[in-house]
Structure formats: C-alpha cells, structure tokens
Structure 1
Amino acid sequence: MAIISFSDALQRSESQSKRHLLLGNGFSIACRPNIFSYGRLFEQADFSQLPASAHQVFRHLNTEDFEKVISILKDSARILNVYDNSSEELASRIKQDAESLREVLVQTLATNHPAYPGEITESEFECCKVFLKNFTCIYSLNYDLLLYWVCMHIIEDDEKPISDDGFRKPYGNEDANYVTWEPNNSRSQSLWFLHGALHLFDAGYELRKYTWKNTNIRLIDQIRAALKNELFPVFVSEGKSKEKVDRIRHNDYLAKASRSFSSISGALFIYGHSLAENDEHFLKSIEKGKVKQLYVGIYGDENSSANKKIIARATRMGTLRKKSDLDVFFFNAESAHVWS
C-alpha cells in the first residue's frame, strides 16, 4: 500500500465533480499541539467544584479521556438498578457526575484556547486558507474556533468566502448581536460542525452563533460569559457512537449536518482523524453513501499501531461498500502543509 502526497491526492481526485473535507482533532493539534489534546485538557481542567468521585474515576480507569469517562459513568448509572433496585439514588449521583464532567470539559475547552485570532500568525492563516480552498464542503468534528477563525479571516481580507455556515441575522431582529441558523438557510450551506462548536449556543427556541463583528467582544470572552450564565454550547461529548447519534437526532442543526454529510458524492478527504469507533456513525455514512473516492491522511510512521488501525478501518470501508465502488487512498498528512 502506497502513501501518496497531498498534491498527488488532489490530482487523482480531479476526476470527481466535487471534493469534500472531514476534519478531526488532528487539524487543531497540528496548529497548537500544546493545547488541543485530551491530556492537556485534563491537566487544565478545574475539578474543584465536583465531587471527588468524579475526578477519581479518571485515575481508576487510567485515562485522561473525558468522553470515555462520561460514557462509562452513564453506562454504570443505567445498569445499577438491574442489580439493586434500591440503588436509584446512587445511579442518580453517577449520572449527575457524568453531566458535571461534560460541563467541565466545555469550560476547559473555552479556557484553554487561543484568546483571539491574532494569536494565529498570518502565515498560518494563509497556509490553512490555501488548504481549505481545495474543497467544496467542509465538515468538522472539532469544537474549537480555529476553522471559524480561518473562514472569517478570508472575509476580512476581502477575499471570496470559501464557505457558508448557514447563519443569518434573526428575522425581525436586525439589531441582534448574534446570528441564528434556520433549516431554510442551509440550502447553500457548505460548512458544518458535525458535533457542534464552542460558538454555537442552543437558546431553547433558536440556535445562535456568537460573532465578534456584532459585538466587538472576543468570541472566547463571549463564550466564557455565556458559561457563567449557565448557557452551554451545542456540544456532542458522548463517548460512544450510539450516544452521539441520539444527541445528534435531538438537535435540528446537528441532524441536518449529519444528513448533509451522508448525502455527499465525489471525493472525500479525511484529515486529522483516527477513524475511531466512537465516530462509527460517520464512518458508516461513508460506507453506505455516494462517495466514489476516499483519501485518508496518515501522520507519521505508517507502520505504527495507530496508523495500522486507521489503514485497516479505511480499507474495510471500501470492501463493505455494497451499491457502488469506493476507492480508498492514503496521503501523507504532513505534505498538506495545513498550517505551515
């Protein structure tokens, strides 16, 4: 199996009418590796307001993965009553710990994040813009603001926007300091946050996006203020694929994003994603979908255990496709020069 360069992958995909991009956490780690990793998030998380038990679970499971712990806690709460009908109170405590950890994760993501776009250099913005302009639609599994900042930077430079995220001024409220998403605005949408994002907030009756342009307040400061007011972002942090699907189905934006991803055709490039089981819902969408060519980014030694798993899972997507052929290729992720 050959690992081709990113430029060769682009050339091979020219036979397809469209190119799409799916971004994983590696996109953010490539920009700021000292911030965007679960280990780093765990080090910076403030557990002081939680019961000691919620923090100790990490140590007992020997992990720093928030999603894994949240998933295990929720599973534990569900099965307790099977063994002991009198354990309802304990099950409730465990479930509450899971919800509290989810909120800690959101707060930690907001706190440990570049404070404003100026912390990203002009050369980093330029490289990322060049990379993104290769694609028709962009789908991200990340919660952070990096992708949004790059897209806004393009507009600020008076360049043609590379994407439309579907958010507009709320109807009848042109003075609002935020924009909202409605299904009717999604017909031309080409940028989707498949698991939500830090700047997307569920106001109960509408999905809002906080922007700097309407307030002159840094996005990260607006997010922190919202968190203090107990308003939390649309944010899929469940540990298992099935739980993520359940959360997605109960939110109009996330459900529409998932349907959009499932309907794409042509070529799909995956960058910065391990094809892990907890995102199996999107991997199955590829297997069942209309994509003809799949290009998966491989970072580092292709013979490492992690990369062998990625290669095996991607190869299986091609063999499991039933209705039409799916050609699978692998490209050197570093050769894409996403940030430098």
Structure 2
Amino acid sequence: MKLETFADVLKAVGKYRNREFHLLLGNGFSVAYDPEIFSYNALHEFIDNLNDVDLSKILEVIETKNFEIIMQQLDNFSALIDAFGGGVGLKKKIDAASARLKKCLLESVKELHPEHVFTVPENESEACSKFLAKFLNTGGKIFSTNYDLLLYWILMRNSVSDHCDGFGRELENSDEFVPPEKQIQSDLMWGKNRDNQNVFYLHGALPFFDAGIAIEKEEYSQHHYLLENISSRMELGEYPIFVTAGDGNQKLSHIKHNPYLTDCYDNLCNATGSLVTFGFNFGKYDEHIIEAINRAAKFGRKSFPKLLSIYIGTYTEDDREHIHSIEHKFKCKVHIYDAKTADVWGRM
C-alpha cells in the first residue's frame, strides 16, 4: 500500500467536494503539542511520584507505561481470583488499587495540563484551528478520544465557525413572561444543541460532568480559569466523565451507560463519506472504535450513504506495519498517510 502524505488527503478533500470528511483524534494529537505533558511516560512518572505503596508495586510488576494495559491486567487478576475462589481480602485490595489508579490517572491529566488557553502560543492555536476547519468546512464532524482541554480551547479561542459540542443553556423560569434582564439561565447542559452537534468527545473530557439528571459542562468564570473550576469540583469529589479502563467491550459498556457518550458513539457509527485519523493508533483496546467505523461502512455492504474510506495517520514504520496487520478488520477502503506531514500546530 502506498504511503500517502497529508497533501494527498487534502487533494481527496478537494476532489470529492460533495463528500463529508470527518476527523478522529487520538492521544497523538496532544502529544504532538507537547510530549512532555501528554505522553504515557509523563503520566506514569506523575503517578509513580505519589508514593502510593500499592500503586508503586503495580507499576513495578506490570512493566508497561500504557495505563489501559495496566488496568486491564488488574481487572483480569480480579476476575481470576473470583474464578479460582481466591481470598476476598486480596480481591478487595486489587479492586481498590484499580479504582485508585483510575482516579490518579484523572488527577494526573489535570495536574500536568497547561493552566489556561493562552498557554498555547497564538500562532500554534491559529494553525491548529485551520487544521480542524478543513474538516468542519466539508460538513464533517470531529471525534476525539482525548480527555484534555486542547481541542476545546482551540475551537473556542479561534471561534472556529459552526463548531458545536451540543451544550447550551435552558431558561429556568420559562413558564412565565420574564424580561431578558430577569431571566434565569441554567448551567451549560448537553442536549439543547445536539441537533447541530459536530464535535464529539467519545471517551469524555475534563469539562464534562454527569450531574445525574443532566450532563453539565464546566466553564471559566470571571475570576477563575476553566481548569481551576474543574479542580474545585474534583476537590468536592465530583469527577469528569472519563472512559479509560478495560478492553474495547468494557469501554463500550461504559459508553452505553452514559447518554452523552452513547450519542457520541452513535454519531461515529453513522458517519458517511470519509474519516481521517490523526494520533490514533488503533491499539488492541480500540476494537469498539473499529466496530463503530465498520457500522458506518455498513460492514462493506452496497448500501448507501455510508463511510467509504478511512485515511489513517501513522508516524513510524512500526505504526504502518501495525495498520497493515489489521487492515483486514476495516470494511471500507484504507489509506495510510505520513502523520508527520500534517502541520497541525504550525511548526513546519
């Protein structure tokens, strides 16, 4: 299979002007901005420095810095204890360590994160917004599996036209006529603008909280940056919507138990046209994403409209070999392009 460039992807966008081109972002999008903050190595070091005896032992024994693998192995070990009638005390200890690891992972993302939107240099922010707009301008949608604020910041700071994450405010005293100055608006809640939504966080994100009867989005205030307000909620024991543990089936189960995540996933399942990925490596725990892509492709049936092709960005020869090895899993045309040729952050 020919290795294409991002210029080739853009040629396809220009050639098929009536086709939607969607974008799927993975952790590589954030790592491309700053690998010292967003890589697994940085998260691993942060958690290792917490001096939690049990977590330190786990990190020593399971010799990987991929937290999805670590949590999957803990879940497997817990299941084996059940299957073989092991000690209840040991199972409780493993389950508690797994829960702490998930909590610490979220804490580490928050603590390592840049403080505010203006931390991102203006020229890089603008370059990224132009990259994102290339897809939105085709009528396409943006899907992200990242938890951080980078995508949200870029879209908001640059006022990228027509982007919508589905959140909005409701009038709380709407049962009577109230002059504008006395109207009471709700917090930002998901659902009001879902019909126009074209930005989807498949695994949740730091600003999104499940309030029980509604999905709320935290925002910046007059006196506090967004990350400060998120931190305040976390200190009160509230945690953002966050899918990280388990294999593809377990992630999908988590997704299906949350209305916002379910809607995001369903939108990926119904994407038509073409999908371009950046920073997403289709690892062994991403089978639910491949399943969604194949649903969008109608599993290869001659039924239209459907997802016709996918352009997968890769960085290394190992990445390309991996995609070649799983190419048969995709039920649509697969292209591979060199992700290094995509100037996402304006540094080329």
Same fold (TM > 0.5): yes
Question: For the Cα contact (< 8 Å) 1:69–1:239, is it kept in 2?
Answer: no
SS of equivalent to 1:274: coil
| Deviation (angstroms), 1:253 | 0.3
Could you tell me which residue of structure 1 aligns to residue 336 of structure 2?
330
Measure the CA separation in 1 of the matches of 2:270 and 2:46.
Answer: 38
Question: For the Cα contact (< 8 Å) 1:164–1:191, is it kept in 2?
Answer: yes
SS of equivalent to 2:286: helix
Measure the CA separation in 1 of the matches of 2:50 and 2:125.
Answer: 37
Question: For the Cα contact (< 8 Å) 1:46–1:104, is it kept in 2?
Answer: no
Q: Classify 1:39/1:175 alpha carbon distance in 2 versus 1 (closer, same or farther; 3 Å).
A: farther
| Deviation (angstroms), 1:175 | 5.0
Could you tell me which residue of structure 1 aligns to residue 228 of structure 2?
221
| Deviation (angstroms), 1:239 | 3.0
SS of equivalent to 1:205: coil
Which blocks of at least 5 consecutive residues in structure 2 are unaligned? 174-182, 297-305
**Of 173, 185, 195, the match for 1:187:** 195
Question: For the Cα contact (< 8 Å) 2:207–2:218, is it kept in 1?
Answer: yes
**Of 203, 208, 219, the match for 1:200:** 208
| Deviation (angstroms), 1:54 | 2.6
Question: For the Cα contact (< 8 Å) 1:180–1:209, is it kept in 2?
Answer: yes
Could you tell me which residue of structure 2 aligns to residue 101 of structure 1?
101
| Deviation (angstroms), 1:210 | 0.9
Could you tell me which residue of structure 2 aligns to residue 268 of structure 1?
275
Question: For the Cα contact (< 8 Å) 2:128–2:344, is it kept in 1?
Answer: yes
Could you tell me which residue of structure 1 aligns to residue 43 of structure 2?
41
Measure the CA separation in 2 of the matches of 1:66 and 1:330.
Answer: 27
Measure the CA separation in 2 of the matches of 1:230 and 1:75.
Answer: 27
Measure the CA separation in 2 of the matches of 1:113 and 1:175.
Answer: 33
Where do residues 85-100 of structure 1 align in structure 2 (5 Å cutoff)? 87-100=87-100
Could you tell me which residue of structure 1 aligns to residue 324 of structure 2?
311
Letter in 2 for 1:94: I
Question: For the Cα contact (< 8 Å) 2:208–2:218, is it kept in 1?
Answer: yes
SS of equivalent to 1:17: coil
Identity value in percent: 30
Measure the CA separation in 2 of the matches of 1:139 and 1:308.
Answer: 24
Aligned length: 322
Question: For the Cα contact (< 8 Å) 1:46–1:108, is it kept in 2?
Answer: no
| Deviation (angstroms), 1:219 | 1.2
TM-score normalized by the length of structure 1: 0.89
SS of equivalent to 1:331: strand
Question: For the Cα contact (< 8 Å) 2:72–2:245, is it kept in 1?
Answer: yes
TM-score normalized by the length of structure 2: 0.87
Measure the CA separation in 2 of the matches of 1:169 and 1:297.
Answer: 37
**CA RMSD of superposed structures (Å):** 1.9
| Deviation (angstroms), 1:215 | 4.3
Could you tell me which residue of structure 2 aligns to residue 210 of structure 1?
218
